[in-house]
Each structure stands twice: as C-alpha cells, then as structure tokens.
Amino acid sequence: MPELVFFSGTMDCGKSTLALQFEHNRTTRGLQGLIFTRDDRAGEGKLSSRLGLVTDAVEAGPGLDLYAYVVGELSRGGRVDFVIVDEAQFLLTEQIDQLARIVDDLDMDVFAFGITTDFRTRLFPGSQRLIELADRFESLQVETLCWCGARATHNARTVGGEMVVEGEQVVVGDVAHSAAEVGYEVLCRRHHVRRMTSASARAGVLSPDVLPVSSA
C-alpha cells in the first residue's frame, strides 16, 4: 500500500542526503520520481546535501498545488512513480493535505523530509500537519551533537554568534556561516534553555571576568 512517510530529525542529521539516496535507489530500479523542495540552501529549484550532492527539484512555493502539479505531469503523458519532498516543514498545511491526497487518490508513495520544530522549539505548521496525517513517522538515527558533546535535540538561530528567540519563523540560513550572518546551530535541551551556543560558551571560558578559584 502506498504511504505518506515523514522522515525527521534535527538540522545537519542527513535528511537531504537520505532524500537523495531514496531518489537514487528508486531511479536505478527503473522508477521515476518527482522532487519538490522549498527554500533549499543551494537556491530555488534545488535539492542539496551538505555532503555536496545536488539535484534539480520543483520549488514548492506557497501558491503551488502539489496534487494538481502531479496530475498535470501525468496528464501530459509523464511518468511519476513516487514523490519526494525536502524541507517539508516549510510547506503550508494545505500542501501537506495535497501530499496525502497524492497517496490516497493516485496510489503513489510520498516521502517527506524535514525538521519538526523551529528555533523557538515550536512546531512548524507543515511538520505538525505531517505528524497528524502521515502513515509513518521516522526519526532519523544519525545523531547530531551539541557543542558540549551531548545529543542535540533542539535547533537554535544565531545572529553574530548569539542565540535569538524572536523573529520570523522562516529565515533561510545554514549551520556554516560567518559570525555576522544569521545562522543555525543544534543544541541539547539544557544549552538551548540557557541560550548557550558554542560561541558564547567559548566567550565564557575566555572571559577576563571569570577569575580562577584560589585554594588559599
């Protein structure tokens, strides 16, 4: 039976790499897929991995009806055996409903990849709807680590190395960024609550205000 499957994890855990692997494995078996993405780091209409892999994709902007797009491809004589969606957290809730309709009405597997919560630990609307509708929810097993070495469970947004907890839910950035840019970092819950990024942790260690404790 076709399924809507949601693969999720923190940033930098290999979601896009897995999406590309799914596409490769099925293509080598003679199947043809359709890839949607939204706000990929490589630019519009691209699905990219931090390992350097990249492929073309359909940009799933807020005005795109995903179900109608697939039906249009089929109506023009195209072949679509499966659908892959990367950065699925950025999709509108109605677009997630369209993915479910692709599964149910077109008998087609849909594999969605994304993160569940934003930098404020709030669910993305697209991810919430996927959790509500998906036939299967898969947590990726590639663990990412906080700067302290503990398992990273939360996504943090940084500006100039400092963690921020206010602002628009969607601001495109990356885990590799200069100090002046908007960036993202994965943290354990303890350090997310304390708003302690790797940069602020280093500053704390090097701060001249932190005096050594004398045993005298």
Distance CA 86, CA 102 (A): 16
**What per-residue confidence (pLDDT) applies to 141?**
64
Helix axes 93-106, 66-75, angle to 10 degrees: 40
The identity of residue 18, as a single letter, is L
Distance CA 137, CA 149 (A): 26
185-204: burial string, b at 16+ Cβ within 10 Å, e else: bbbbeebbeeebbbbbeeee
Task: Tell me the pLDDT band of 76, cut-offs 50, 70 and 90.
Answer: very high
Q: Average pLDDT, stretch 113-120?
A: 88
Q: Which of 87, 132, 168, 181 is catalytic?
A: 87
Question: Which ranges of 93-188 would DSSP assign to H, the alpha helix?
Answer: 93-106, 125-133
The identity of residue 78, as a single letter, is G
DSSP 202-215: HHHHH-TTSPPPP-
Average pLDDT, the chain: 84
C-beta separation of 138 from 172 below 8 A: no
**What per-residue confidence (pLDDT) applies to 82?**
97
**What per-residue confidence (pLDDT) applies to 96?**
98
**What per-residue confidence (pLDDT) applies to 9?**
80
Strand 33-37 and strand 82-85: pairing?
Answer: parallel
**What per-residue confidence (pLDDT) applies to 206?**
46
Determine whether 73 is an active site residue.
no
- pLDDT at residue 211 greater than cutoff 50: no
- pLDDT at residue 50 greater than cutoff 60: yes
Question: Which ranges of the chain would DSSP assign to H, the alpha helix?
Answer: 15-27, 66-75, 93-106, 125-133, 189-193, 198-206
